[in-house]
Amino acid sequence: MQSVCLIVGASGAIGQSIAKKFSEKGYSLILHYQQNEKAISDLSVELPEKSILQIIQADLSTPSGIEGFCEKLTLPIEVVIFAGGKNLYKLYQDVTNQDMDEMYHLHVKTPWVVTKHLLPSMIQRKSGHIVLISSIWGEVGASCEVIYSSVKGAQDSFVKALAKEVAPSGIQVNGIRPGYIDTKMNNHIHETERDSIQEEIPLGRFGTPEEVAALASFLTSRDASYIQGQLINVNGAWSG
C-alpha cells in the first residue's frame, strides 16, 4: 500500500496545492474539508484517478467535531499536514468569546487531538511526518489579528516542543510560516493596502500556494531528514 497523506483543510488554496504536490509524489490522500464541498469536488477531478482514499467533511471548530473527525481516521497515516483554519480580522475589543473558542479549536485543539490520535501508529512504525502551516504573525504578531496571531504562536510552540519529544521515535515535526500568500484569505485587504504591502516585500511580489506546497513536500522528503522542530518562513523577506 502506498504511503498515506492526510491534509486537514484540503479545500483551501494552500491545501489544494499540497494535495496536488503529494499526489505527484505517489501518496494516497485523505482530504478533509469543512464547508467548501465544490472545491473538493473540483480538486478530485484534477487529481489522478484512485489517488484519493477518503474525503471527510468535519467542522473542527467544536470539540465534538474534532472527536468525530478522529473516529473516521482508521488508516495508518505517514504524513499529516495541518493546512486548515481561518483568519479573524477585527479590533481586539470586538472579538467575541465565540470567536475565541472557534479559533482555539480550529488552530490549536485540532492539531493537538488529531496528532495524539495518529501518534501511536507512527511511533509503532518509527516513521511519520507532521507539518503545521502556521503564519509569520505567530512570530511577530499583527494588529487587528490578535487572536489569529495568538493561535499561530501556539502552533509554533507545539511544533518545537513535540519535535523534541518524538524525534527518538523517528517522527519529524516542522512548521511553515507563510507571509503574504495570494489566496482568498486575504480578500479582506483593500486593493490600495495590497499594493502597499507588495511594495514592502523585498522580492516585490506575493507568494503562491504552490511555493508553500513545495516546502511541505521538501520537509517530508529524505533530503530534509535532519530538519526537526523548525519553523521556516516563506515570506519573500517580508516580516510584516
Catalytic residues: 148
The sign of the torsion formed by the CA atoms of 157, 162, 165, 171 equals negative
Task: Report d(CA 85, CA 201) in Å as an integer.
Answer: 25
DSSP structural state of residue 207: B
Q: Maximum distance among all alpha carbons in the chain? A: 53
What are the helix (H) ranges across the chain? 13-24, 37-46, 63-71, 97-104, 110-125, 137-140, 146-166, 191-200, 209-219
Degrees, nearest 5: CA angle 13-132-159: 165
